[in-house]
Amino acid sequence: MSQSVAPSLYTPQGLDEISGKQRDFFSLDPRTTVFFLVVVNVMVLSITNQLVTVIGFIFTVLMLVTARSRKFLIGYVTFFIICHLLYLVVQPAFPNVAVTIFATFGYFLAKYSVALATGVYFVITTNAGEFVAAMKRMRMPDFLVVPIAVMFRFFPAVYEEFWAVVNAMKLRQIYSSGWGAFLHPIKTTEYIIVPLLTSVINIGEDLSASAMVRGLGAPANKTTIVPLGFNAFDAIVALATVAYAVVAILVKVGVI
């Protein structure tokens, strides 16, 4: 009679089950993800040429496709196209001050939307345990690693708390729709923003205490059971990121 044996802690299968995430082909190592995020942000936000922004947009769209983030991807593509239409089509067709101001906002919002997309990809594909393990492998100091690791828990907690407050207001029939909150900003501040700020303070204190209990700031060397390692997709993304940086620099100096 065969007996099922639980996967050992020291086998790859056991590590994957304990870490809570099965690594597949499109799962990047956190170090590759950080490299992609930093390079794309620096190039898009520091170079004004539209070609660099468009290439960065296409790059981030492909990365979000691999992350299977359909809802954000649709909104991101729609928003980027609208911003570019304002700048490239509407502004030349109606050259007046008001349209020029909106087109200028569209130009900068398109750039910042690419930066936001890299951040969303990073949050979707990387959890706190993977990030801390990768940064420790890179010998990064705790004063950089610990705050970012806490932020991984902070924003999802704030998001859930926000919708909890909104649903409580709807249950009490204070707001029937989102337009009600927009049309009554004073009431919105009183019934939503103030409770949310109180919850944010409590969340921050709880997460700080949790980080101390877990020993994130302890001076001793720490071990991890999170599986790290580079695969073929890491190599593809790293090479594509380097190629994007080279093209952006060539555009900057006027070669392209």
226 touches 137 (CB < 8 A): no
Q: Per-residue pLDDT for the chain (256 aa), expressed as one digit of tens each?
A: 444 444 444 344 444 444 445 567 778 888 899 899 999 999 999 888 888 999 999 999 999 998 887 888 999 999 999 888 888 888 778 778 888 888 888 888 889 999 999 988 988 888 777 887 787 777 777 777 777 777 777 777 888 888 888 787 777 777 666 666 667 677 777 777 788 888 888 887 777 777 677 666 666 666 667 777 788 888 999 999 999 999 999 988 877 7
User: What pLDDT is recorded for position 127?
Assistant: 79
User: What pLDDT is recorded for position 229?
Assistant: 78
Closest by CA position to 145, among listed 28, 36, 30: 30
Q: Determine the Cα–Cα distance for residues 160 and 167; give it in Å rounded to an integer.
A: 11
Q: Determine the Cα–Cα distance for residues 195 and 164; give it in Å rounded to an integer.
A: 10
175 touches 214 (CB < 8 A): no
As given in the structure block, the two tokens for residue 37 are 């995020």
User: What pLDDT is recorded for position 212?
Assistant: 72
pTM of the model: 0.72
248 touches 52 (CB < 8 A): yes
User: What pLDDT is recorded for position 6?
Assistant: 41
Q: Determine the Cα–Cα distance for residues 199 and 161; give it in Å rounded to an integer.
A: 7
As given in the structure block, the two tokens for residue 123 are 């949050």
User: What pLDDT is recorded for position 79?
Assistant: 92
CA atoms within 13 A on the CB side of 6: 5
User: What pLDDT is recorded for position 219?
Assistant: 67
Closest by CA position to 111, among listed 63, 62, 54, 70: 54
Q: Over the range 192-204, which residues count as b (16 or more CB within 10 Å of their CB) and which as e?
A: beebbeebeeebe
As given in the structure block, the two tokens for residue 35 are 């490299």
Phi–psi pair at 85, nearest 5 degrees = -65, -40
User: What pLDDT is recorded for position 20?
Assistant: 46
44 touches 119 (CB < 8 A): no
User: What pLDDT is recorded for position 17?
Assistant: 42
